Structure 1
Amino acid sequence: MSKPVALITGVGPGTGAALSRRFSEGGYRVAMLARDEARLKLLESEIEDSKAFVCDVTDVAQIDATLAAVRQSFGDPSVFIHNAVGGTFGNFLDIDPAELERNFQINTMALLHLARRLAPPMIAAGQGVILATGNTSAFRGKANFAGFAPSKAAQRVLAEAIAREVGPKGVHVAYLTIDAVIDLAWTRKAFPGRPDDFFIKPAAIAEEAWHLAHQDRSAWTFNAEIRPFCETW
């Protein structure tokens, strides 16, 4: 049998790369989507059975061209993880409204466009996974997150609407809320002096995504939350 295919958006040096590695290790061919070609090509050279696809998920024409290329190279994905994220910080008076609109395109509209194209073959097969990575902004609107939280809340509600539609047809949709600072080079610089336990490890996020994607269909999760043991919540 040919290997199953996982399509992952927002593949960068952190969560996206960790997701790609975990699904490759689990026996998947991995289609990695992002805008940075050089970074994608480096990851492609490091991760077995992976392929880089340069794509701006705010551009519907690029989405269509990329999906055609993925299907030609690998076939239809049985797992789709929307990890691409757009974020802008500032209160509602300070932000550029255009930034919120762009974040909405990345976080919410890209999920809609990709799910509309990837779900039908999953439904026809009677199985598949659609997973979006999110954060606590999807559940609350703090003052300085006005350019970001509305798009993540809409993303989560859209994922729930998709889940209620395709779940009974055999397609598992889940929303993975990451309530933590992800361990990256730039976050280490942004939070100097913090202990290792303060950060969530990208590999640990990927492991939970793997678990969600392979749950028994008698016990599917939609809302999943992960955080370091020491996180105050």
Structure 2
Amino acid sequence: MTLRQQQAPCKVALIVGAGPGISGALARRLAASGAKVAICARDGQRVAALADATGAAAFTADATDAGAVARLFVEVEERFGSPDFVLYNPSARAGGPLTELEPEAVATALAIGAFGGFLVAQQAARRMIPQGGGAIFFTGATASLKAYAGSAGFAMGKFALRALAQSAARELGPKGIHVAHFIIDGGVRSAKRPDPADAPDSTLDPDAIATVYLDTLAQHRSAWAHEIDLRPWVERF
């Protein structure tokens, strides 16, 4: 099935936590539509390769460092102008039994999973409020809604990110800023994680996810969606 093309309803996009999956698919679609796209990750070599593959511009920053995030937005502004669409996509796992989790690993997972989202949303909001509009999206997971045994280090960050999205939506929506949270409830397809031959479409296609993000971005403010669950048709929930 060929996914339909769509004109991107933004001029400047910033994707933080860029990788080859969801954010890579979205960056390709946005760049192809004519939007100026900035993608950011901590690994400069990885993000440079992704920029070559998507047509986006590469930036590096640690999303958990307030100064680095502030500089990132300044650098994007200097090159393209202020972003009117920002996606926070990073996550980090600290899995294992509660009694054996390393506190430092859990602190890092929390910082990447939620605190970085706050820093990015804060910088985005400071620029979008004077403009009277924009969109801030967050990528969540199954763990945003339910925490499984052994997943405390991951789920705490996703729960907190969802709370941030809810608070930001209530605060920023009346100022013309669309805040949305996406629950990715299932495995995302990749070269390393293809669908089994006997179970087609049993994982989420990154391009299909990107289509939903773009459809949400294009919504009229009289009918904004705040939270959307995405899962394969065979996924249990």
Show CA shifts across 1:117-144 (max 9, x none). Answer: 1112211121100000111101112112
Runs (4+) of structure 1 exceeding 4 A deviation are 191-194
The structural deviation recorded for 1:157 is 0.6
The structural deviation recorded for 1:192 is 6.5
* Cα RMSD after superposing both structures: 1.6
Show CA shifts across 1:67-118 (max 9, x none). Answer: 2111110110000000111112212112112122111111111111111111
After alignment, is 33-42 or 141-150 more displaced?
33-42
1:176 aligns with 2:182: yes
Cα distance change on mapping 1:88 and 1:194 into 2, 3 Å: farther
Cα distance in structure 1, aligned partners of 2:102 and 2:198: 32
Matched to 2:206, the amino acid is: P
Matched to 1:225, the amino acid is: D
Matched to 2:234, the amino acid is: C
Aligned residues: 228
Aligned match of 2:220: 216
Cα distance in structure 1, aligned partners of 2:198 and 2:16: 29
Unaligned runs of 5+ in 2: 1-9
**Helix, strand or coil for the counterpart of 1:52?**
strand
The structural deviation recorded for 1:27 is 2.5
**Helix, strand or coil for the counterpart of 1:161?**
helix
1:103 aligns with 2:109: yes
Asked if structure 1 preserves the Cα contact closer than 8 Å seen for 2:110 and 2:153, the reply is no
TM-score (norm 1): 0.92
1:129 aligns with 2:135: yes
Matched to 1:51, the amino acid is: A
Asked if structure 2 preserves the Cα contact closer than 8 Å seen for 1:91 and 1:147, the reply is no
Aligned counterparts, 1:1-150, within 5 A: 4-48=11-55, 50-150=56-156
Matched to 1:38, the amino acid is: Q
TM-score (norm 2): 0.91
Cα distance in structure 2, aligned partners of 1:195 and 1:34: 33
Aligned match of 1:155: 161
Cα distance in structure 2, aligned partners of 1:209 and 1:120: 23
After alignment, is 70-79 or 58-67 more displaced?
58-67
Matched to 1:44, the amino acid is: A
The structural deviation recorded for 1:210 is 0.8
Cα distance change on mapping 1:69 and 1:218 into 2, 3 Å: same
Cα distance in structure 1, aligned partners of 2:93 and 2:217: 26
Asked if structure 2 preserves the Cα contact closer than 8 Å seen for 1:134 and 1:176, the reply is yes
The structural deviation recorded for 1:161 is 0.3
Asked if structure 2 preserves the Cα contact closer than 8 Å seen for 1:35 and 1:55, the reply is yes
Unaligned runs of 5+ in 1: none
Asked if structure 2 preserves the Cα contact closer than 8 Å seen for 1:100 and 1:151, the reply is no
**Helix, strand or coil for the counterpart of 1:8?**
strand
